[in-house]
Each structure stands twice: as structure tokens, then as C-alpha cells.
Amino acid sequence: MPAGLQSPHRVAIVGASSLLGKELKQVLEDRRFPASEIILLDASPMAGTLTEAAGEPTFIRALDEDSFEHVRFAFFAGTVADAEMNWPAAQSAGATVIDLTGAIAQSGKGAVSIPSLTSVLPLLFQSGADGPANPGLYVSLGTPAIIACTIAAALRDYQPQRIALTLFPPVSERDLAGVEELESQTTELLSFREIAKPVFGAQVAFNLLSAYGETSKAQLGDLRRAVSRDVAAFLGSRALLPAIQLVQAPTFYGYAFSAYAEFSAPAQVEELERSFTRLGVKVGASDDPPPSNISVAGESEIQLAHIELDPGVPAGAWLWGVADNLRLAATNTVRIAEELIAK
């Protein structure tokens, strides 16, 4: 448990059966968050599922009007629809709401926070300098937005002329259904059988996608616009907005990215790397193997390979990095709660 967090608090996780909800519970336990009770909540089909919290057996409970009674923090980690339907009840019950689903980010009502960047980009209230329209509402951005904002914050003092960022989302960003579809498609293709495409609407196994198929409920272009929206909401005019592209990768976990930054004059690699290190990014040495989706599993920070200057553009630099998509997002969320307790 981080220093200064002594008093126990009752917390609730809505969407506890989702991959992100499960990771959030694990991070609360790993960081010894001062929780007197962790209440696991989900939509009715998942209610009654046996699981554990803090080493003790427990059940996932159905959401009802009393779900948030005496809750100090209500974390929303499931679907946007569940968050939109239930965060007002949580707030009315007196809970501080921290949303990971994007529901509150879309409404523009909450404070956007990335605690690892507070030293250079303090907490931003979306509704203006006087604070959020609804006090007690906080937005915890997803992994792609955290990556983009971290790059922009780290490079800000070097006044880049442009930053281009290509993100490679894993299928676990579409929760368990995405993981199961990649697994199923891989098996079926190796057996020379027809594949099912209910999640992505296209073949994601052994493939890279710049767009999903027409039958997909979500479209990659929409996800890209949502990331750009979240990055712009957090950065505002405080740092250069990166140009962002998403390419769906046939990987289960780990958010990989490649970024290009160009400056008015050649940059010093050592200075750039120190800037990232100060923001909690783990930067590899020149002789270290670059991070991979496998090597970052279970790690809470963004990991960056040794920065390389472009051989043809002296003022250009290339970055390669990876983050555990579930762990990074969950850790950011818990750190928001820890900072609120510390204050």
C-alpha cells in the first residue's frame, strides 16, 4: 500500500467479469489499496458467478438500486452502456466515480487524469478552470490514449514539429470475445476450415487490419477517432497533438506502437530518453532487446526501446514501445483513487 493511504474504503467494480475489471481487481490487491471491501458488480447474466477478492471467495453481484450504498469509489470497467446507466446512481449514493469505459469522456463531464504525467501536465477539468460539471467524476483514459499523451508530454520541451503515432491494438481490447475469436480463427485456419467473424467482421488471425468488416459492431475508424478525442481532451493546447493511426494486430495482449517525431534541429537521444524516464517510462539501453508483447506482460509501465535517429532525416527520431494494455489502464485508474485519498 502506498505511503499515506491508511483508512480503509469500500469500493465497487462495475463490469467485474470483463478482462479489464478482473485486472483492476488484481491491481487493487497487488498495490494493497486500502479497501475494506471490494464489491464485484456486473449485468444480470454474470450475476452469481463465483470468484475471489483479496484471497476470499465471493460472488459477482447483480446491479441494483442499493449496489453503491456506502461505496467510496465506484470503478466502471465494463460496457459504455452499463456505465451510462449506472454512474448517476453511484454518484447519488456518494461514491467517487472513476470511469474506464469512455462513457464519461464522451459526455465531457469529468476530470481527466493520468497521474504519471501530473508533474508536467496537471489534472485537467473538462468543463473549464472552475472544475468539472459534476464533482466526483473522473475519467481514466485507455491505454492508447495514455501512450499518446505520454509521448506528447515527454517530447513537449523539445518542441517537435510533428509526431506521428501508429498503434497496434491487441484483440483483448475487444474483451474476451476478441480473444476467443482470434483463438478460434487460428485453430480453424490451421485446420483448413471456414472461420467465424462475429467480433471483427474479418480475418484477424495471421493478418493486419486497417479496418474491420462491415458486420463488426465497432469500427476501427470509430475507435481511432475516440482515441484522438481523448488525447485532445487531455492535452488541449498544452502539447503537440500526435497524428494517430490504428492497425489491428493478431496478438492477444500487449499494446505495441511505433512513433516518429521530427524536430527543428537534431535531438540528443540521451536527453529524449531521460525525459521519458522522468515520466515513469522504462527505457531500454542500446544493447537491450526491444520490448515485446510477451516481455511486458504483467508490467505496469510503458516500455520503450532505445530511441533511434532516422538515418535519412537528421532531425527525425523513431520510437518503438509496448505496454500491457490491461495492466497499464488498470494501474492508471487505481493511481487516480490513491491520489484522491492522499489529498
CATH number at residue 271: 3.30.360.10
211 and 103 co-located in one domain: no
Above pLDDT 90, what percent of the chain? Answer: 83
**4 in any annotated domain:** no
* Mean pLDDT computed over every residue of the chain: 91
Map grid coordinates 456505465 to a residue: 83
254 and 183 co-located in one domain: yes
Above pLDDT 70, what percent of the chain? Answer: 90
pLDDT of residue 86: 93
pLDDT one-digit tens code per residue, 11-24: 999 999 999 999 99
**128 in any annotated domain:** yes
66 and 112 co-located in one domain: yes
111 and 156 co-located in one domain: no
260 and 197 co-located in one domain: yes
**29 in any annotated domain:** yes
Which residues make Cβ contacts (< 8 Å) with residue 55, sequence separation at least 6?
Answer: 29
**3 in any annotated domain:** no
258 and 133 co-located in one domain: no
205 and 100 co-located in one domain: no
**333 in any annotated domain:** yes
Q: Give the type of residue at 132.
A: P
pLDDT of residue 128: 42
CATH assignment of the domain containing 87: 3.40.50.720
pLDDT of residue 131: 46
pLDDT confidence of 85, banded at 50, 70, 90? Answer: very high
Q: Report whether pLDDT(162) > 80.
A: yes
100 and 183 co-located in one domain: no
119 and 258 co-located in one domain: no
Query: Taking the model in full, what pTM does it have?
Result: 0.92
**1 in any annotated domain:** no
Phi and psi (nearest 5°) for 159?
50, 60
pLDDT of residue 62: 86
pLDDT of residue 110: 87
**Domain enclosing residue 261, as ranges:** 147-325
60 and 88 co-located in one domain: yes
pLDDT of residue 56: 55
How many domains does the chain fold into? 2
pLDDT of residue 49: 61
Burial of 62 (0-12, 13-18, 19+ CB in 10 A): middle
Question: Cβ–Cβ contacts within 10 Å for residue 146, how many?
Answer: 25
pLDDT one-digit tens code per residue, 259-310: 999 999 998 999 999 999 999 999 999 999 999 999 999 999 999 999 999 9
pLDDT one-digit tens code per residue, 92-129: 999 999 999 999 988 878 899 999 999 999 876 654 44
37 and 87 co-located in one domain: yes
pLDDT confidence of 8, banded at 50, 70, 90? Answer: confident
**2 in any annotated domain:** no
Q: Give the type of residue at 91.
A: Q
160 and 290 co-located in one domain: yes
For 143-160, what is the mean pLDDT?
Answer: 97
